[in-house]
Amino acid sequence: MLTDLLKPELVACHVEASDWEEAIRACGKLLVDAGKCDQSYVDAMISSVHKFGPYMVLEEGIAMPHAQADGNVSEAGICIVTLDPAVAFGHEDFDPVHVLVGICAPDPKAHLGCLAELSQMFEDEDCIAKLSACDTPEQVLETMRSFF
């Protein structure tokens, strides 16, 4: 399911971001450009961090930007952004972030299958290093397929 949603145009490697907001904007741009959501969804992802803190930093080095859809998501989407250099999100235990996995879904339950697959992927201790080492979207997709 996860690799079915992820296409090369939804992957960006070695993105430079000055801070976590710029990192989330880079992630959101991929989803917007692919027609998965509109800009207000990206703004909501950023607002969520301002409101709730860096809750979307899930493990060491990885964050999953997302927000509650409010009519601004047209279809389920997932994107991957690797950051170079890594960016601090303000998480006490898991900063800095090297990889962003952006998700959007028209309803809260639509992405649960993807979350289960992502948790399987994160069981590999070298997951972040492997994804960060990729230079092309195709390499990221190939690496992700190797986890399943």
Catalytic site residues? Answer: 66
Q: Which residues face 130 on adjacent strands?
A: none
How far apart CA 114 and CA 127 sit, in angstroms, is 16
Q: Which residues face 12 on adjacent strands?
A: 81
Which of 7, 3, 20 has its CA nearest to residue 62? 20
How far apart CA 39 and CA 22 sit, in angstroms, is 14
How far apart CA 21 and CA 111 sit, in angstroms, is 23
> Count of residues for the chain?
148
**DSSP sequence for 65-87:** -----SS-B-S-EEEEEEEEEEE
How far apart CA 1 and CA 54 sit, in angstroms, is 27
